[in-house]
Amino acid sequence: MSKIDISLSNLNELFPENFSQEQIAKGKTVFLKELSRSTHKFYGGKMMSMPKAGVYGFNWFNVWYTPGVSSVSTSIRDNNDVSFELSNRGNLVAVVSDSTRVLGDGDCTPPGGLGVMEGKAYLMKYLGGVDAVALCVDSYNDKGEHDPDKIIDFVKMLQPSFGAVNLEDISQPNCYKVLDTLREECYIPVWHDDAQGTGSVTLAGLINALRIVEKDIDKVKIVLYGAGASNTTIARLILQAGGDPEKLILFDSKGSLHKDRRDIYADPRFYRKQGLCDKTNPGKITGIENAMKDADVLISLSKPGPETVKQGWIRLMGNKPIVFACANPVPEIYPYAAKEAGAYIVATGRGDFPNQVNNSLGFPGILKGSLIVRARKVTDEMAIKAAYSMANFAEKKGISPDYIMPTMDETEMFANEAADVATEAIKNGVARIEYDWQTIYDQTLKDIKEARAILDLLMENDFVKKPDTKLLEDALKKAIDTVK
């Protein structure tokens, strides 16, 4: 068995040379899952609370708490907006989920989403310099049903403590009502990362993929496989960015969306899908193979698993086809298989393949920019601005079929994105305060570097301990034994 580098810099090299590409792809998934479970147990989760103010003597407790802190309370009482300055609220996000659609695992019970929500908090801090708290809530009502109104009420009640809310892993159709209600009725930004976040990063990847193949967004035929919160929002943003609704075809589990889908119109909770039935696929094309003929782009966010998207579908596509297989944790088709079928550009949601189209490239910068200007909401214009910010950052570095998106280690991208989003918030009239672009960029970069320096210091002093190598070796052994 290969010796494992703690950096996990090249997962492919961990597996025996005689392993096929399929075995390596499956093995990496098993390895990462096994290692994740064991290291989460080792650390007891990923996040903790730490003071950000110093203790220089015993009487400082009287400053940070009673009697001194009384002046903070009365100042905020007289002007609630001062809470953004006198507490951590101005840099604090609530990550809220009822855990009804966690990654590809479905309903995991309310506490089942904690690993993912802590992960969001981890990435916000490391990539965006933003503090966040995981809040998994029980949305069951007295009838044993998941009630979107319970999430709506919960978020409204927590507003005084946070500068923004990140919704995550809420199943449809409840996710539509939750987001749309809270966006309009809350006085802080409420962002649904599975919808707006995925929409923004996917649009960014599409912009650059089309630049590479020299096609215009208003001319291409796009098939979206899956019609949940992610793909319905992706479709909406593509249309706002100039896509032609007549060349857009969406599929859900029952077939293509079009004006004759009476089952969708019969349920008012699916109003987002109804709107897309009205606008797209006027030819009422049915059958995925019919839709894929001469298609330029396939965007799949559906059932995880390498056989969900068939190679035969890709072979039906037009010149230099673009394939986004972004289900997590396993893409609908592995990149090597898509390339074998003729795909020119392939993207997934995972960082161990080229072209990671993942929300982690969006929400840290988008929420940071929103927080800095104390935005009241994240508009669709802000999400589209973030998409072009990501795409343009990568284009300046030099895009190629295997590099259509920035990567998570490109720190300046997040600061650039935050500044672009914040200035768009000002332009949209949803910002409470205004700064110039450079000030926002500099503040974001400073906060990101500070967050990373603190973690580095904790690691260097063994307050954050290095995982036992045996955990890595055991996970790799399990992966190899599972797929060989």
> pLDDT (tens digit, 9 = 90+) per residue, 346-403?
999 988 899 999 999 999 999 999 999 999 999 999 999 999 999 999 999 999 999 9
Q: Which residues are the active-site residues?
A: 65, 120
The verdict on residue 115 lying in a domain is: yes
Which strand ranges, in their side-by-side order, compose the sheet holding 222-225?
Answer: 255-256, 248-252, 222-225, 297-300, 322-325, 345-348
Same domain assignment for residues 135 and 215: no
pLDDT at 5: 85
> pLDDT (tens digit, 9 = 90+) per residue, 422-436?
999 999 999 999 999
Boundary of a domain, candidates 133, 163, 193: 193
> pLDDT (tens digit, 9 = 90+) per residue, 273-332?
999 999 999 999 999 999 999 999 999 999 888 889 999 999 999 999 999 999 988 899
Q: What is the mean pLDDT of residues 125-137?
A: 98
Same domain assignment for residues 338 and 385: no
The verdict on residue 131 lying in a domain is: yes
Same domain assignment for residues 210 and 258: yes
Q: Report how far residue 102's alpha carbon sits from residue 100's, in angstroms, rounded to the nearest whole number.
A: 6
Boundary of a domain, candidates 133, 162, 193: 193
CA distances from 468 to 35, 44, 462, 473 (A): 11, 14, 13, 9
Boundary of a domain, candidates 166, 193, 220: 193
Q: Report how far residue 316's alpha carbon sits from residue 84's, in angstroms, rounded to the nearest whole number.
A: 54
Tokens 């301990």 belong to residue: 465
Q: What is the mean pLDDT of residues 160-165?
A: 98
Lowest-confidence range among 12-21, 152-161, 382-391, 451-460?
12-21
Query: Residue 195, Cβ neighbours under 10 Å: how many?
Result: 27
**270: which 2 tokens?**
């699916």
Same domain assignment for residues 219 and 344: yes
Same domain assignment for residues 327 and 203: yes
Q: Report how far residue 67's alpha carbon sits from residue 49's, in angstroms, rounded to the nearest whole number.
A: 23
The verdict on residue 167 lying in a domain is: yes
pLDDT at 194: 86
The verdict on residue 455 lying in a domain is: yes
Same domain assignment for residues 314 and 209: yes
Query: Residue 76, Cβ neighbours under 10 Å: how many?
Result: 18
Same domain assignment for residues 341 and 209: yes
Q: What is the mean pLDDT of residues 467-472?
A: 92
Give the contacts of 424 (CB within 8 A, at least 6 positions apart): 379, 381, 382, 385
CA dihedral over 27, 309, 408, 363, signed as positive or negative: negative
Q: Report how far residue 348's alpha carbon sits from residue 301's, in angstroms, rounded to the nearest whole number.
A: 10
pLDDT at 329: 83
Same domain assignment for residues 201 and 344: yes
Q: How confident is the model at residue 172 (pLDDT cuts 50, 70, 90)?
A: confident
Domain carrying residue 297 = 196-348
Say which CATH number the domain at 144 has: 3.40.50.10380
CA distances from 362 to 215, 321, 404, 414 (A): 24, 25, 14, 8
Same domain assignment for residues 275 and 416: no
Q: What is the mean pLDDT of residues 120-141?
A: 97
- Selected residue with higher pLDDT from 374 and 228: 374
Q: How confident is the model at residue 96 (pLDDT cuts 50, 70, 90)?
A: very high
Same domain assignment for residues 209 and 162: no
The end-to-end CA distance of the chain, in Å, is 13
Same domain assignment for residues 224 and 272: yes
The verdict on residue 446 lying in a domain is: yes
Average pLDDT, the chain: 95
The verdict on residue 31 lying in a domain is: no
The verdict on residue 17 lying in a domain is: no
Q: Please say whether the beta carbons of 113 and 150 come within 8 A.
A: no
Same domain assignment for residues 366 and 451: yes
The verdict on residue 482 lying in a domain is: no
pLDDT at 1 over 60: no
pLDDT at 2: 54
Q: Report how far residue 299's alpha carbon sits from residue 198's, in angstroms, rounded to the nearest whole number.
A: 11
φ, ψ of residue 278 in degrees (nearest 5): -65, -40
pLDDT at 94 over 90: yes
Q: Domain tally for the chain?
A: 3
Q: What is the mean pLDDT of residues 218-241?
A: 95
Lowest-confidence range among 90-94, 221-225, 276-280, 352-356?
352-356
Say which CATH number the domain at 321 has: 3.40.50.720
- β-strand pairing of 248-252 with 255-256: antiparallel
